[in-house]
Structures are given as structure tokens and as C-alpha cells.
């Protein structure tokens, strides 16, 4: 009788170790060792891109613990491959795996600019800041070719519509011209995600994202261009990167960040098993202790979905992280991200059909 393989090898350049079936599938499968191919080489995964058939582009939420009510994600899935990404379970809605599929089978919203123009031109639309990068990174590698984020920003700039961006990619520097112009009218702000300064940890945990030091360089360039820029430490993982909290905040202040924020590790749905599998593969001697500390911040469970606790956790470990963050911010003179309000009064509706569609 075959037995479950004790450890699956990592795919080079990918975050997830495995590709579990979609939770909506009738049948599930798992890798097993039959004694014949334990040392078998893993075929490199290639990224495939499909066109998304969405009929709208602005997503809305009423969550009381996030600083935005509407957002845009130009892409589904994210090639950065961050193993901890809380958005991974959304790939199941497409019948795909939240594991390797999430970072290798991507969908692009090629019609996004037309859809955005239509939504902004509706009589009932009320201007509120639109957040980019809330689910998947708007500057992930395929943006170089597809330029959907750039096109959306051009529409927002034309309409005097405020935008807030979260990314861990240096590609955002390509759009300094647009963002600097919008920032001069209080229409743009950017948050750079810096999870660790340890290049080896970053390479394993965020395999296709920019190196940590490169992200700090991006913070400097955004600040020099006059764009409000904050640093987001997300996620903070007990016993894995939490010891770097003060070091990352020091580096953020030195790079010129206007503000900072952090989010405790979140493990909803399939993310839990994917992250724990990654821990067992890359840090087998520390995995049990890391998992125990994660559960200490979640009332003994792997995750809490309740508003108010899902971002910060609870208990002594979570309280200590929060206290350390507050003390470091006071020492460095940093404020919490989200304190600056962008201008929503200058918005003007676009004229639909005034511009030819790209596709």
C-alpha cells in the first residue's frame, strides 16, 4: 500500500510546494511515494496567461478593519508566489488550485480600462479612493507586457480620481511620471510591502518579488518624486520574521517612508496547509515551534476571521508585537499608514467612447 511522501521538494522560483485540488472539486488527489520515483526531478513550471471575462472591474467591501471600500485587481493570481498570500483561496472560485496554480496560471483583465470608464461614468457613482494591490500585486511581472495597471492609472489621472497602491515590486517606478503628477494633486499614495531584510528568507517566501533592499530603494525614489509612500510589514510571522520588526522599521525610516503599518500572518482556508507544508519543507527543525506561536496569537487556532482580530491577533505574543511596533514608531517619529486623506472632491466623470479600446 503506497504511503504519503514525507516531504515534497520545492519548485525552483515558486512559493507553494504543492498544488492541492480545488475545494469545489468532487475528487481530491495527493502525491504519494510508491517506492519507484522518490528522487524524480521536478519539471519547472511555466506561467500561462488567460484573458479574464469579468464584466466589472471595481470590487467593493464593507469590512471595518480595512482602509478602503473599493478596489481594483488587474490580474487574478500572482506570479510573485508569496506562500503566505491570503488571496490564494480565491483561485478556487475559478476551479483552480490555490497552490501552484495561483502563481503559475494567471488571468489578465484585458478589458479593464473600458470597464472602469463605464463604471466611473455612471450617474450613481460616488468617488472614493480606489485601492490597487489588495488581492494580487498590480505590478507583478506580467504587468511589463500587459500594462493594465498603467492604463487604469491613466484613466484615474484623467478623471482626478484618487488611488492607493500596495506592491512589493520595483516596477512601480515605471509609473513615477503619472503617480508624481497625481500626488501633486493629492490623488495618489503608495505602500511598499517589506516583509524581511533577509534575502534568503525572502527568496524562499516571496520567490519572484523584488529583493528587500531593492524595495527600500523604491521607497527612496517614490519619496524623492514627491509621492507619499509608506512601508507595510505584512505578514509578521512569530519566530520567523518578527525579530526583524524594529530593523525593518529602522530601514523604512532611513529610506524616507512617511508612514508604516503591519499585519499579522493570516491563514484562511487552504493557505494554512500550504504555509505549514512550506514550513516543513524549508524549516523542518523550527516548524513545530513556529506553528505553536502562530496558534498562540489566534486563541489556540490556526486563524480567526473576525473583524478587529484577524489583522492583529490576540494574546500575549500578539500584544507584544503590537507594543514593540508602537515603541519603534514613537522612537522613529513614524505614523500609522492611512492617516493621509486623498482628494475626492476634484473627481470628474470620464466620457465613455472618447478613446478607442486597446483590445
pLDDT digits (tens, 9 = 90+) for 123-136: 999 999 999 999 99
pLDDT score recorded for residue 339: 53
pLDDT score recorded for residue 45: 87
- The DSSP H or E segment spanning 336 is strand 335-336
pLDDT score recorded for residue 29: 59
> Does the pLDDT at position 221 exceed 70?
yes
HSE-CB of 301 using CA atoms within 13 angstroms: 14
Sign of the dihedral through C-alpha 298, 299, 300, 301: negative
DSSP 124-178: T----PEEESSSS-TTSTTHHHH-HHHHHHHHHHHTT--EEEEES-GGGGGGHHH
Instruction: Tell me the domains of the chain and their CATH numbers.
Output: 47-336 (3.80.30.30)
pLDDT digits (tens, 9 = 90+) for 173-214: 999 999 999 999 999 999 999 999 999 999 999 999 999 999
| Assigned C-alpha cell, 129 | 479612493
pLDDT digits (tens, 9 = 90+) for 97-149: 999 999 999 999 999 999 999 999 999 999 999 999 999 999 999 999 999 99
pTM, 2 dp: 0.91
pLDDT score recorded for residue 33: 56
> Does the pLDDT at position 4 exceed 50?
no
Specify the pairing of strand 259-264 against strand 229-236.
parallel
Residue 68 three-state SS: coil
- The DSSP H or E segment spanning 49 is strand 48-51
> CA dihedral defined by 325, 326, 327, 331, rounded to 10 degrees?
100
> Does the pLDDT at position 316 exceed 70?
yes
pLDDT score recorded for residue 25: 72
For 109, 110, 187, 349, 350, the CA distances from 158, given in Å and listed in that order, are 20, 19, 11, 9, 8
Residue 70 three-state SS: strand
Amino acid at each position: 500500500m503506497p504511503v504519503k511522501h514525507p516531504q515534497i521538494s520545492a519548485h525552483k522560483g515558486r512559493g507553494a510546494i504543492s498544488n492541492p485540488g480545488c475545494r469545489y472539486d468532487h475528487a481530491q488527489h495527493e502525491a504519494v511515494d510508491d517506492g519507484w520515483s522518490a528522487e524524480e526531478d521536478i519539471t519547472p513550471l511555466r506561467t500561462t496567461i488567460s484573458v479574464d471575462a469579468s464584466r466589472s472591474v471595481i470590487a467593493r467591501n464593507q469590512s471595518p478593519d480595512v482602509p478602503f471600500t473599493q478596489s481594483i485587481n488587474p490580474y487574478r493570481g500572482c506570479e510573485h508566489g508569496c506562500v503566505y498570500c491570503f488571496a490564494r483561496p480565491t483561485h478556487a472560485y475559478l476551479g483552480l488550485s490555490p497552490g501552484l496554480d495561483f502563481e503559475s496560471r494567471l488571468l489578465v483583465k484585458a478589458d479593464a480600462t473600458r470597464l472602469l470608464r463605464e463604471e466611473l461614468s455612471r450617474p450613481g457613482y460616488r468617488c472614493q479612493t480606489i485601492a490597487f494591490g489588495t488581492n494580487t500585486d498590480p505590478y507583478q511581472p506580467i504587468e511589463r507586457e500587459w500594462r493594465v495597471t498603467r492604463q487604469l492609472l491613466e484613466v484615474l489621472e484623467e478623471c482626478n480620481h484618487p488611488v492607493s497602491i500596495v506592491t512589493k515590486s520595483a516596477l512601480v517606478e515605471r509609473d513615477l511620471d503619472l503617480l508624481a503628477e497625481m500626488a501633486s494633486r493629492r490623488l495618489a499614495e503608495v505602500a511598499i510591502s517589506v516583509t524581511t531584510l533577509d534575502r534568503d528568507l525572502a527568496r524562499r517566501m516571496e520567490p519572484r518579488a523584488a529583493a528587500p533592499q531593492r524595495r527600500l530603494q523604491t521607497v527612496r525614489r517614490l519619496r524623492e518624486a514627491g509621492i507619499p509612500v509608506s512601508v507595510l510589514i505584512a505578514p509578521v510571522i512569530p519566530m520567523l520574521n518578527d525579530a526583524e520588526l524594529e530593523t525593518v522599521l529602522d530601514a523604512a525610516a532611513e529610506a524616507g517612508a512617511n508612514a508604516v503599518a503591519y499585519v499579522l500572518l493570516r491563514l484562511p482556508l487552504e493557505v494554512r496547509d500550504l504555509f505549514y507544508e512550506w514550513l516543513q519543507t524549508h524549516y523542518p527543525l523550527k516548524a513545530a515551534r513556529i506553528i505553536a506561536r502562530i496558534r498562540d496569537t489566534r486563541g489556540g487556532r490556526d486563524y480567526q476571521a473576525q473583524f478587529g482580530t484577524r489583522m492583529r491577533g490576540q494574546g500575549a505574543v500578539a500584544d507584544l508585537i503590537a507594543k514593540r511596533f508602537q515603541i519603534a514608531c514613537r522612537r522613529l517619529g513614524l505614523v500609522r499608514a492611512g492617516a493621509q486623506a486623498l482628494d475626492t472632491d476634484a473627481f470628474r466623470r470620464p466620457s465613455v467612447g472618447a478613446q478607442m479600446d486597446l483590445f
